[in-house]
């Protein structure tokens, strides 16, 4: 449901001057109640905070150590979860060339230091008005898209699938079938139905994720009421289950260095792990090792899943990064594409990322990075 009024609730101030960070903080807190303000003393930290907290507005200096304001803006515009965040540049330089360069990179406004309280609040009000107009204009289209996608794959499809899965399992478990060929055929029917059911579930999940990523209000609500989850038990459970499904228990090499509480719900991290680990087993040969290892830095919890199988070409990795639609080539990969797209999208929606490095016909490593509390 569309709200009557939209407000910025989370602000990120990036400036190497503690003095200017303090001034902006005081102006914002006196002007608006119940807001969150995050501060960064350089661009590198600013990008990390933006990915972790997904602010509603970024106010950023240009000349800074580590990473300047132009680099911050470029990094945020390249990431799906931050590319639409309103961005205001601050600078002690007033040359038109500097302003034009910032606008060409995608900045929304440009303030010259020193600025007045009225100038800062005016710039913020202008960004809020533009954001509100965009939100109201796109909300109707999003609602229509949601309805169309809901009906594009009728839920009646699940009814016959459920029947096939249930009855085939009953036959396998209850009836004493003497002909092993009949047992094998029924098992094939059951496995095929499971695969089709998982595909339909992934299709619907992918559609939901795409709608969510384009709905600012839902994204904000998701990050406001976000769950935190410990990882060790979930990793062990998913990895063990997948190794058993592929009858490759001896191939699993699992190392959990440090259990952390990460910024994502348990079902979502389980879904990410399930798709990535399943892919590793599916596209490597029995007898080759599947290595799963976790590690952390100051901001992110990371898990690496390494297999020594068919690998991926640079073009295949690029297609996953570009979120290709459900094209024929995607299905010809026998399920390798859609699951990784979902895992990547989920990680990014929760402030993290999924990266892939691979050597064709040798090995593939998928790294999942998510913010930890």
Average pLDDT, the chain: 82
176 vs 146 pLDDT, higher one: 176
Please answer whether residues 345 and 359 qualify as being in contact, where contact means their C-beta atoms are separated by less than 8 angstroms: no
Task: Flag whether pLDDT at 226 surpasses 80.
Answer: no
CB 109 within 8 A of CB 101: no
pTM over 0.85? The answer is no
pLDDT at 327: 39
Give mean pLDDT, residues 277-297. Answer: 94
**Per-residue pLDDT, 365:** 95
CB of 248 closer than 8 Å to CB of 286: yes
Query: Which pLDDT value is given to residue 4?
Result: 44
Q: What is the pLDDT of residues 293-321, one digit of tens each?
A: 999 988 899 999 999 998 888 877 776 65
Distance of alpha carbon 243 from alpha carbon 277, whole angstroms: 9
Pairing of strands 57-61, 109-112: unpaired
Determine the Cα–Cα distance for residues 80 and 86; give it in Å rounded to an integer: 14
* Residue 117 vs residue 260, higher pLDDT: 117
139: closest CA among 323, 322, 4? Answer: 4
pLDDT at 156: 62
Give yes or no for residue 149 having a pLDDT over 90.
no
pLDDT band of 2, cuts 50, 70, 90: very low
Query: Between 186 and 94, whose confidence is greater?
Result: 186
């Amino acid at each position: 449901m569309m709200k009557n009024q939209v407000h910025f609730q989370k602000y990120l101030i990036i400036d190497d001057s503690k003095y200017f960070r303090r001034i902006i903080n005081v102006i914002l807190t006196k002007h608006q109640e119940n807001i969150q303000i995050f501060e960064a003393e350089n661009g590198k930290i600013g990008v990390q905070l933006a990915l972790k907290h997904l602010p509603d507005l970024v106010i950023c200096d240009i000349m800074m150590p580590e990473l300047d304001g132009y680099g911050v803006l470029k990094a945020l515009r390249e990431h799906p979860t931050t590319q639409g965040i309103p961005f205001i540049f601050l600078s002690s330089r007033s040359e038109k060339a500097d302003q034009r360069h910032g606008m060409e990179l995608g900045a929304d406004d440009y303030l010259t230091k020193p600025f007045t309280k009225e100038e800062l609040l005016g710039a913020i009000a202008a960004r809020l008005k533009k954001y509100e107009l965009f939100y109201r204009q796109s909300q109707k289209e999003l609602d229509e898209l949601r309805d169309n996608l809901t009906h594009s794959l009728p839920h009646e499809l699940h009814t016959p699938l459920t029947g096939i899965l249930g009855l085939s399992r009953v036959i396998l478990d209850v009836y004493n079938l003497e002909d092993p060929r009949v047992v094998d055929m029924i098992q094939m029917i059951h496995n095929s139905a499971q695969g089709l059911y998982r595909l339909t579930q992934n299709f619907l999940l992918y559609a939901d994720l795409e709608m969510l990523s384009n709905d600012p209000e839902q994204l904000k609500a998701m990050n406001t009421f976000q769950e935190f989850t410990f990882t060790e038990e979930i990793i062990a459970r998913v990895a063990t289950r997948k190794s058993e499904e592929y009858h490759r228990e001896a191939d699993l090499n699992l190392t959990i260095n440090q259990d952390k509480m990460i910024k994502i719900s348990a079902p979502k991290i389980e879904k990410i792990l399930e798709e990535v680990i399943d892919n590793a087993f599916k596209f490597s040969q029995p007898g080759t090792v599947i290595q799963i290892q976790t590690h952390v830095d100051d901001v992110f919890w990371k898990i690496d899943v390494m297999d020594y199988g068919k690998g991926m070409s640079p073009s295949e990795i690029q297609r996953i990064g570009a979120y290709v639609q459900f094209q024929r080539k995607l299905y010809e990969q026998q399920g390798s594409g859609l699951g990784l797209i979902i895992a990547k999208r989920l990680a990014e929606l929760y402030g993290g990322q999924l990266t892939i490095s691979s050597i064709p016909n040798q090995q593939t490593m998928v790294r999942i990075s998510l913010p930890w509390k």
